[in-house]
Amino acid sequence: MNVKEEAHYWKEQIDLKKIWAPALLILMGIVLMITATALFLELAEDVWEQEKLTFDHIIMNYFQSVESGTLTNTLRILTETGSIWWISAASVITVLFLWLKKRDVHGVVFFILAIAGGGIFIFVLKYFFQRERPTLAPEYDGYGYSFPSGHALGSFILYGFIIYLIGREKRFFKTRMFAIGLLSVLILSIGFSRVYLQVHYPSDILAGYAVGMIWLICCIFSMEMMKVYRDKDKRTYLSNLIYHRK
């Protein structure tokens, strides 16, 4: 194999990587969406038919048995990171960052769409299912209907979108991995706190995560497709410009 053939071979390998990497991500997204949809539909059917979910009561009884003042105070603070006020404030900061620092118009639009859409979903679904909470506790934002969990859905969309933004950066790999891990733990911890504080059933949390995942993937996929078409239009425009100048 001469130098030209070797260069051509490696160019083809690089091109294949550019094709397969996005294809695998798309496939993973589709699998996650199908799984999340199946999970939500299963839980929704049980809640609609007012069936008692055994695992709900087993988990909640266990949490009651391990209650402690220190853990309760810690989770009381932690649960606020999934509240509507916290998510609203964090959303404003994220929008300002995307607009002023990154100049990412598509990012701003789809982030707002993700957060606002999540709010609409939670309002409609709670009103539709009208599941009563295990305990009414306004001091923990434990009021209104229970299914699905607004804290779980909202935190999954907010922190999930931020994880996506961090993941697409190119620099500081170790720092990015640490931040992604920390945010992932935060998402799970918020769900844990809602069950521990007895304001949600575990099935509420799972349903919130499922709907949040479906909507987040839809928004991110739509944004990426928009960017692909935008870049394609730019290349077409530049090609036409160069052609006409000739």
Tell me, what's the pLDDT at 17? Answer: 55
Q: Convert the pLDDT of each residue in 141-185 to its tens digit.
A: 777 899 999 999 999 999 999 999 998 888 888 999 999 999 999
Tell me, what's the pLDDT at 234? Answer: 52
Contacts of 46 (CB under 8 A, 6+ apart): 53, 203
Q: CA of 143: how far to CAs of 72, 87, 103, 136, 202, in Å?
A: 18, 18, 39, 6, 16
pLDDT in tens, the chain (246 residues): 554 554 454 455 445 555 666 677 788 889 999 999 999 999 999 999 888 788 898 999 998 888 888 999 999 999 999 999 999 999 999 999 999 988 888 899 999 999 999 999 999 999 999 999 988 777 777 778 999 999 999 999 999 999 999 988 888 889 999 999 999 999 999 999 999 999 999 999 999 999 999 999 999 999 988 877 766 555 554 444 444 444
Contacts of 69 (CB under 8 A, 6+ apart): none
- What's the structural domain count of the chain? 1
Query: Which helix (H) or strand (E) segment is 104 a member of?
Result: none
Tell me, what's the pLDDT at 128? Answer: 95
113: exposed, middle or buried (Cβ count in 10 Å: 0-12, 13-18, 19+): middle
Tell me, what's the pLDDT at 1? Answer: 53
Query: Which helix (H) or strand (E) segment is 59 a member of?
Result: helix 54-65
Tell me, what's the pLDDT at 104? Answer: 86
d(CA 101, CA 99): 6
Structural domain boundaries, residue 124 = 3-245
In the DSSP assignment, the letter for residue 141 is T
End-to-end Cα spacing for the chain: 38
Tell me, what's the pLDDT at 166? Answer: 94
